Structure 1
Amino acid sequence: MSRVIRCGLIQAHHPLHGDEPVTKHKEAMIAKHLPLIEQAATQGCRIVCLQELFFGPYFCAEQNTKWYEAAEPVPDGPTIKLMQELARKHQIVLIVPVYEESIPGVYYNTAAVIDADGKYLGKYRKNHIPHVQAGENPNTGFWEKFYFKPGNLGYPVFDTAYARIGVYICYDRHFPEPARILGLHGAEIVFNPSATVAGLSEYLWKLEQPAHSVANGFFTGAVNRVGWEEPWNIGEFYGQSYFVDPRGNFLAIGSRDQDEVVVADLDLSMIKEVRNLWQFYRDRRPETYEDIIRLLP
């Protein structure tokens, strides 16, 4: 018996110059996302995922304490409270990636999960934190260790009104272990909100996560922002948000440079069908994998 859930991914360009006050950045991006969320609901989406750090630019392109002002508590901050109201209004599940302040001076790259009745279900904190230079300019890069403490909540799976979902954020997708853990925990759809730019990662964007879906028998929804962000210009955020099924087939792919809601119907009954054919979980041999932990660099 089919079990079809319509899901949406929202990709959007950040319009402001980085020199603007932090409050203006948050106001502009939240205002941009409100009609996009309503559009997703109008199109019948039941689960909607926003992009990494959705309420601002990808400020990690520089190291500036100014951006600490963007952080807020999760779930008690104003952005999550607003998203709870929207989830309740539209009866949709929302995955909301924000900059979280845990206590003063301790910050995480976080995604909150809100159920269709507006209930806050929990959060995922990004575990793998990159810190690398982008191109030849020593002043720009992915300086995330300046802003984020590594996550400490593991890889939770959330039972929502429509499906059992998991989340990992951007750089986490380069590591196979989180995908396997989420699959073993019963995730039917894994969402990956991201901020990634053209270059080598564009090739990997459509390679790694379809492979994760095949290896673990789940659907993936991958979100990437679009456009150039001033003044950093670390590269073009190339969009192309997509859904992929447990066979690795692309179900929907977004444009490279447009704000949009990427929509796909996911038939979750395919998960059992594929796993009954490809018995990767039955045939795995965890007792032979000790070197993954033992051989630490």
Structure 2
Amino acid sequence: MDVQQVRSLDEIIKNNLNSEQLKEYNRIHYGRTDHCELKLQDSTLAAGKEHDFEVAAFYFDAAKEVRPPKIIKVGLIQHSIVLPTNEPIDKQRDAIFFKVEKLIDIAASEGVNILCLQETWPMPFFLCTGEKEEWKEFAEAADNGPSFQFLSKLAKKYKMIIVSPILENDNGVWWNTAVVIDENGNYLGKHRKNHLPSVGSFSETAYYLPGNIGHPVFETKYAKIAINICYGRHHALNWLMFGLNGAEIVFNPAATVPEFGESFWGIETRNAAIANSYFTCSINRVGTEVFTTKVGQKEITRSFYGSSYVTAPNGHRTPGLSRDKDGLLVVEMDLNLCRQVKDHWGFNMTARLDMYAKEIKKSLSGE
């Protein structure tokens, strides 16, 4: 079977198990027998059909306690590019803006408070070409570039926090950056990708530098959030630091292909949610992108597999969006679950950070 014909693992399982088997599979694999689907508006379903994108919605409860529930909605958008990669860069970007605006409008109509886009969402993932100068128009300022100006208006209009992963140009130096825009459309801050791959055609060190900001956590109107960009999900200590700094939700915007670890796409961010007692949100781009290099006229094709999903601090997770279709995932969550899971498992209380720090220091000194 062609890998691109597999819409999702969830679909394969659902189509091949009877109801009792499916319930037991869900209990073991997802952590709960029921996916806890949220009812979507008829207008949302109609818009999805009209524009050919998938919309799915789920919720995570927390136990009742003295504190009132702290319920918010998160939205994740996965999407393909629109125009061929040899079209003028401004036209490519504007076409993506037009598509994404429709998805953000739907997210707002479903009450989303915090929305995250995929890694370098306003452009094709040209980092596989080995070329840089040809694509420089995609690099932009974090706080006033085209992407910020576009999303700032939507954030203000819908009172929505928006996480915008872009290719940042800071005085001629490039960074892989996630910009956080607050509910009034203001620039709240940014995080720069800490860990850069140099594996196969993922040679990102040729384009930008490893992050120099550390592990910021942004205290927004709705939640304390952080962003662990793509390859950073392979580093357990990266996840740990966001937790130590107080994150309740950590987003992992990505651009990854089937041959680059799809088998553990559904594992790493889920593990991080469990180990650090916060929600994790995994967003991967979708679709096929074709590039022709200027030197040697070499054709390069990259196909991304979507499969965006959310995991709760107790390890329960949602089904993923499809592998081959634009989509919006809406997840309602009670942030009280973060503290409840911390109290139950005691990971923070039993951590031996002093011992780890001592041994890491010893390892770095070469003793």
Distance 1:183 1:84 in 2: 28
TM norm structure 2: 0.76
Deviation at 1:236, TM superposition (A): 2.5
Change (3 A) 1:235 1:69: closer
Q: Deviations over 1:184-242 (max 9, x none)?
A: 11100000110011025111111111100000000011100111111365542110101
Distance 1:292 1:233 in 2: 41
Q: Deviations over 1:158-190 (max 9, x none)?
A: 011111101110000000111111111110000
Distance 1:160 1:44 in 2: 16
Pick aligned residue for 2:165 from 97, 105, 108:
97
Matches within 5 A, 1:1-297: 1-64=68-131, 65-104=133-172, 106-133=173-200, 141-231=201-291, 233-289=300-356, 290-296=358-364
* 3-state secondary structure, aligned to 2:271: helix
* 3-state secondary structure, aligned to 1:190: strand
2:191–2:227 contact (8 Å) kept in structure 1: yes
CA RMSD of aligned residues (A): 1.4
Paired positions, count: 289
Unaligned 5+ residue runs, structure 2? 1-67, 292-298
* 3-state secondary structure, aligned to 2:325: coil
Amino acid at match of 2:226: G
TM norm structure 1: 0.93
* 3-state secondary structure, aligned to 2:211: coil
Distance 1:68 1:148 in 2: 12
Identity of aligned residues (%): 40
Deviates more, 1:34-43 or 1:244-253: 244-253
Distance 1:213 1:286 in 2: 18
* Larger Rg, first or second structure (1 or 2): 2
Deviates more, 1:215-224 or 1:17-26: 17-26
Higher helix proportion: 2
